[in-house]
Amino acid sequence: MDKEIEEILDKANGLLNKTMIQTLIKSIEGEKITSIQTGVGSIIYFGNEEFFFTIYCSWRLRNNNCVLVNWHQTEMELIEINLNKLSNLRVISVIVNEMFDLSIKFENGLILDVFTDIADNNYGHSIVDNWDFVIVSDNLCYSINYMLNVKTENYL
């Protein structure tokens, strides 16, 4: 019986974490992107840099049904040029699905899709988080790891 209770509590915790992260991420709706840093772990800052995402997993930037650029591009300049199209744009909506994939829509119609596809060490390195969402004023970092669990820790 104890194992059954433990499983129920684990499921309830998972649902609570998903609801919590969806609510937290919705806080960027209406905010503008203030800066972008590209690289392994691209960083997107919102508001007065009070929120930011660090994205380690696959992503793409699209306009309607046309992909402008994605994480797999070999030319870093192409990534930077296209991601910089998001600078100073306001976030219109954020959708977080059950797998913690994100779809962030901007005022000019561009959409940034983020796919939580990192599995335990599947790229041969130590990155085990798909993405991090930081709320600077709360000193909190919410990470979605390779098991699709929400990990919460201090940012600094």
Whole-model pTM? 0.84
Q: Can you tell me the distance from the alpha carbon of 141 to that of 106, in angstroms, rounded to the nearest whole number?
A: 23
Structure tokens at 57: 């997993």
For 7, the enclosing helix (H) or strand (E) is helix 2-25
34-69: pLDDT as tens digits: 999 987 778 999 988 899 999 999 999 999 889 998
Q: What pLDDT score does 104 carry?
A: 96
Q: Which two tokens stand for residue 85?
A: 């199209």
- How confident is the model at residue 5, as a pLDDT? 59
Which tokens in the block code for residue 88?
Answer: 């100073």
Cα 33 to Cα 30: distance, rounded to the nearest angstrom: 10
Q: What is the mean pLDDT of the chain?
A: 84
pLDDT at 21: 85
Burial group, residue 95, by CB count within 10 angstroms (0-12, 13-18, 19+): middle
Q: Please report which confidence band the pLDDT of residue 86 belongs to, taking 50, 70 and 90 as the band edges.
A: very high
List the Cα angle 73/79/82 in 5-degree steps: 130
Per-residue pLDDT at 128: 74
What does the longest C-alpha to C-alpha distance in the chain come to?
Answer: 58
**Is 6's pLDDT higher than 80?**
no
Q: Give the residue, 73 or 49, on which the prediction is more confident.
A: 49
Torsions phi, psi for 11 (to 5 deg): -65, -45
